[in-house]
Structure 1
């Protein structure tokens, strides 16, 4: 059976009926608020002063259905509609023939919105209605751009801000905050240093040569998620049990920190798991904490916040964790938290390198 929706609509409605219902409810409440508030503010006879202009309905589609779109942001809605209204009224006054004035108004509105950075598709309809709107619009003149066009746009965006905040969403839309280094330095985190760069994205957009209804920052965040998903899919078949170290150097919580420190130095380790008599993992001990507590027992230097995985856990689950720079190892345990092995950044790097070499050899054949 042929799909009912094109890919873009299927992607947007992936959240299901709940998201669709939220968009519809938001449009009802937003339009109702804008109409009633406008009437209370400007008063007058609705047969003379229109309550809502038709293009505001198109603005509601953007605000409540695709609030992340650059075309739906408050500046685009308000400025785009008002600028287009001013252009349309001017064309109606300067060009007596509506057949010529209408296309000129729409064209000029589009160009001016692009020049001022407030492109809003319903603005084209606003410019058109200013030309063909009849005696009511001509009688109001440039005031039509302020009320109802400007007032409706302002009230509708205000309703959109309140509604999306109530729904736990961001409007105006804010692009995802770029990840920062876990060490507080100016370097990007490790996951952001590999793969494509900002220059690659800019070059690709330049070659694409089309205006996109998505911001550059959103594209960057989306592509990095796609890249991560692809890596996870490729490595989903490799399990932690396949690459873990099983002969693990462990510490006893009752031994002294001094003896534990010497033991770790002997094996050139900076971190070691601490286990009880049944080899259940209690946490990790690091050189710095052991050094600060030389004369005390290891139990006082245990960091209980250790990342635990199973032998059957795919290594894809470790890619975001061990590449973040915040965690350097994960202990492999069974259902009773008994130590089975350990996977370090080095282990993960080795298997990724081997997979890369195998793929390169296969590509040469």
Structure 2
């Protein structure tokens, strides 16, 4: 039997604590999305009051689109098709069933069944059907136009705004599908998703545990990969960044010409160069891709070939040669000497960065590269007992 304490705990929050910045991101997105849809998209379509056309279920759709954009229930097909089908059913029931209680129950029930058959389950759509069933006067005036505007047009506009907002705030919407290309533009799965499991097997797992409405196959692959990586990190022992980092570093200053930066990359065969100020204050990190990206941008901006743009960028005889601070990255992950290498693994596993600077009170102490990390993991694996 459950104890009273367990029952009380079961009534508490099931979601983990969210960062305030994520709460602000979702709230601002919903506010902007609903404001734009109501003021600039729906209201110009009709001469009726705005309140009639910015319907309440849009608020529930905004929660999904801006707060949990990875959920299958929040994807564009689910949102647009689910809301539109529910609206059509709600209008049809409202026009044919006179009893209010019966038509509300019938509209919601039929909408749920239709959404499941259309593979477009979207919880706010139940409220869309209920709204139509509860509004006989509006439905009598609008008829099936209600399903087009406000429902279909408004939902599609919210989806488009959610896509734009996700990109502007560093999120991805719609979610990435299992077959989508990776960050390098190839068809290989991302490193953390190379599980040996097919999409069909992952989908079967979701169906078996009745989670197909809550998670997609790509999300499950990513979570399994992350769990395996975390489990592997438990075998690294007490190693820290200070144990594996490179200490004798080749560095540049913010004013170092890019021609000299390129020479250092070639001479030392390194893939990253820390940028430091006075007293080894860390300012940023330059990767070789930063040089390529800058040359490409210059080629497009100046309407010239890539080679010519690269030569111009690296030319130290120019009056104002390009300098390190113009291309260095400043927002990448960082570590301190006490950071366990278990925490460094996910930072570099997805391929976003090749190196993580190690700082102490803002001063550069060393850098952990992928080579350092691989060497440390290889050493740990050699120390593990071999199974008999």
| TM-score above 0.5 | yes
Asked if 1:32 corresponds to 2:32, the answer is no
Task: Pick the aligned partner of 2:88 from 86, 89, 95.
Answer: 86
Aligned length: 295
Report the Cα offset of residue 320 of structure 1.
7.1
The TM-score, its normalising length taken from structure 2, stands at: 0.59
> 2 CA distance for matches of 1:5 and 1:24?
23
Asked if 1:6 corresponds to 2:7, the answer is no
Report the Cα offset of residue 126 of structure 1.
0.8
Change (3 A) 1:353 1:189: farther
> 2 CA distance for matches of 1:313 and 1:7?
30
Task: Pick the aligned partner of 1:43 from 28, 41, 47.
Answer: 47
SS at match of 2:120: coil
Structure 1 unpaired stretches of 5+: 244-279, 283-299, 326-334
Residue aligning to 1:125: 127
Change (3 A) 1:349 1:61: same
Report the Cα offset of residue 59 of structure 1.
1.0
The within-5 A match list for 1:1-365 is: 6-8=13-15, 10-11=16-17, 14-16=18-20, 18-37=21-40, 38-44=42-48, 46=49, 50-175=52-177, 201-238=202-239, 303-305=269-271, 316=342, 348-349=377-378, 351-352=380-381, 355=384, 357=386
Change (3 A) 1:101 1:235: same
Change (3 A) 1:233 1:178: farther
Whether the 8 Å CA contact 2:73–2:213 is kept in 1: the answer is: no
SS at match of 2:149: helix
The TM-score, its normalising length taken from structure 1, stands at: 0.62
Q: CA RMSD in A?
A: 4.7
Structure number with greater Rg is 1
Residue aligning to 1:274: none
Change (3 A) 1:111 1:224: same
Structure 2 unpaired stretches of 5+: 251-265, 274-335, 352-363
> 2 CA distance for matches of 1:318 and 1:229?
11
Report the Cα offset of residue 221 of structure 1.
0.9
Whether the 8 Å CA contact 2:195–2:225 is kept in 1: the answer is: no
